[in-house]
A and B are shown apart, each in its own frame.
Chain A
Amino acid sequence: MRAGAFRAEAPVAPILSVRGLTKRYGGRVGCEDVGFDLYPGEVMGIVGESGSGKSTLLNCLAGHLRPDAGEVLFDLGKDGMRDTLALSEPERRRLARTDWAFVHQNPRDGLRMTVSAGGNVGERLMAVGARNYGAIRASALDWLGRVEIAADRIDDRPAAFSGGMQQRLQIARNLVTGPRLVFMDEPTGGLDVSVQARLLDLLRGLVRDMGLSAVIVTHDLAVVRLLAHRLMVMKGGRVVETGLTDQVLDDPQHGYTQLLVSSVLQV
């Protein structure tokens, strides 16, 4: 699970390569001059306090916000590395529903609350052309099983689900088309600790089994400790420290990282 096992393989090309990404809100800095490479199968954690620009960065990467400068290169397979900011809108949206996935902090932002769980999972399949009800339903059942939602809840609406179930449903809905890159914005935010633990366990299993690459934004260091191979610490829109997760958390170099690590309550 740790980055070392992955690193031992032959050198591979990054799946996502970010260069000089800058986003300003008028005179204020959203994020500034951020750059990193993400390799296939790797999970990158982005931590920092509220307002440090981590969500801005994630939204820029996922194409929800248009950065003012920089480039986001994504490995499109046969087309090679392409700047997703230069893609046409149809291309970018196709990417967003096939190769990419975005897990929102609040499941209500990522789910259709008036559509049944099965319909939520099936939507991406139908969006890429699935037209066989039986097959769509079978895949929905399969995915509900994988995220530990009972099969008899398939026709229930997400409004009837607990927060943890909604979040798991959102994950199933995103992963059903087999994306290669997942963006997660505080996936465990607002969940109690035991539910968080189960969700993290689930995510870790899915990431490993599917060979997903992921960018996870969180302010919860325990989440990145469990999930992320590498860590990027942000402050005031800038990256102040990067490195392997254990290295950054166990031997923080930057003053802010030291503060962050020492702020965690030890139970």
Chain B
Amino acid sequence: MTQAEIRGEAPGADYTFAYLDEQTKRMIRRALLKALAVPGYQVPFASREMPMPYGWGTGGVQVSAAVLTPEDTLKVIDQGADDTTNAVSIRKFFQKTAGIAVTEHTGEATVIQTRHRIPEAPLTEGQILVYQVPIPEPLRFLEPRETETRRMHALEEYGLMHVKLYEDIARHGEIATAYAYPVKIEGRYVMDPSPIPKFDNPKLRMAAIQLFGAGREQRIYALPPYTEVVSLDFEDHPFVPGKAEGACALCGSETSYLDEVIVDDRGGRMFVCSDTDYCAGRRAAGYRGEMAAEEGGA
């Protein structure tokens, strides 16, 4: 029975509400509850084939499908932007299969699926942030054996994570890991926050529920609201959330995370907010960056 039929609507809708069948959603919800109960722990789940390639957010889409209700308003962002291919196609996917409202405004969304960014505007209680995760295991490139990494998590043997940071400093003079920066959750599990820039790491302690889905790797993990998240570092090389020096060329923001855009073949460049909704909001409020006029009212 489809959701449309449950709601008393005409049968014949091509998909169950939000594409996945109800049993699959139950399975994913169980994994989500377990993940929320043990913050930072990677819960295995029976990831389904989705009508998109691995790497395009199959994990995030399955998690979103499991948490969406007909009353939800969905926002999808890819690298902070609402208008890139990945974001547009996932948004359309849920419009088609769930018939839900969508938005580009962070404040209006109840569920936000994201790839590689946390929105600039602080999220509030009641919102859910769903991350697309390519590789959930923070120890993967240090220890190739899954049996061994599981044991290391179980026994809290995380010395190896610091070996990676040591190597960064030895080679680059500073901790050069700029994204997927490892964090420790509530003093227990070391977690990969998905490839968000380390600029976003301090925001991981937030009011919204954060759910992480890795489709190919078949893992789900989660952070309940206000979970303690500590970025790993050394006493004499403390964690620094970095961003490009400069201000957004469109909205003039100096505090948001910036993308660098090459604008010509003579070394010309501009910095723009990676969060398109945040940038548009600021421009609507009258803020102007140095190149805003050239944009012709974009």
Contacts and interface: CB of A to CB of B under 8 A. Distances in A.
Interface residues of B, number: 16
A113 to B, nearest CB: 12
Contact of B171 (A124, A126, A134, A155): A155
A126 B166 contact: yes
A266 interface: no
A126 B155 contact: no
A122 B155 contact: no
A123 B155 contact: no
State the majority secondary structure of interface residues on A: helix
A93 interface: yes
B182 to A, nearest CB: 13
A241 B22 CA distance: 70
B47 to A, nearest CB: 29
Contacts of B159: 97, 123-124, 126-128
Contacts of A126: 159-160, 162-163, 166
B236 A132 contact: yes
Interface in A81-109: 89-90, 93, 97
Contacts of A97: 159
A89 B155 contact: yes
Interface in A122-166: 122-124, 126-128, 131-134, 136-137, 154-155
A118 B170 contact: yes
Interface in B145-168: 151, 155, 157, 159-160, 162-163, 166-167
A133 B236 contact: yes
Nearest to A157: B167
A112 B236 contact: no
A137 to B, nearest CB: 8
Interface string B160-196: 1011001101110000000000000000000000000
Contacts of A118: 166, 170
A121 to B, nearest CB: 10
Interface string B224-264: 00000000001111000000000000000000000000000
A126 B166 CA distance: 9
Contacts of A154: 170
A116 interface: yes
Contacts of B169: 133
B170 A116 contact: yes
Contacts of B170: 116, 118-119, 137, 154-155
B185 to A, nearest CB: 18
Contacts of B162: 126, 131
B157 A131 contact: no
A115 interface: yes
B163 A122 contact: yes
A137 B166 CA distance: 9
A124 B166 CA distance: 12
B236 A115 contact: no
B167 A119 contact: yes
A89 B157 CA distance: 12
Given A89-B155, A116-B170, A123 B235 contact: no
Contacts of B151: 89
**Which of B162, B171, B237 has the most C-beta atoms of chain A within 10 angstroms of its own C-beta?**
B162
B152 to A, nearest CB: 9
Contact of B235 (A124, A128, A131): A131
B171 A116 contact: yes
Nearest to A91: B155
Contacts of A112: 163
A136 B166 contact: yes
Contacts of B160: 123, 126-127
B58 to A, nearest CB: 29
A66 to B, nearest CB: 15
A122 B166 contact: yes
A229 to B, nearest CB: 33
A101 to B, nearest CB: 15
Contacts of A89: 151, 155
Contacts of A132: 234-236
Nearest to A88: B155
**Which of B159, B166, B169, B235 has the most C-beta atoms of chain A within 10 angstroms of its own C-beta?**
B166
Given A126-B159, A155-B170, 19 more contacts: A89-B151, A90-B155, A93-B157, A97-B159, A115-B167, A116-B167, A118-B170, A119-B163, A126-B160, A126-B162, A126-B166, A127-B159, A131-B162, A131-B234, A131-B235, A132-B234, A136-B166, A137-B170, A155-B171
29 contacts: A89-B151, A89-B155, A97-B159, A112-B163, A115-B163, A116-B171, A118-B170, A122-B163, A123-B160, A123-B163, A126-B159, A126-B160, A126-B162, A126-B166, A127-B159, A128-B159, A131-B162, A131-B234, A132-B234, A132-B235, A132-B236, A133-B166, A133-B234, A133-B237, A134-B236, A136-B166, A137-B170, A154-B170, A155-B170
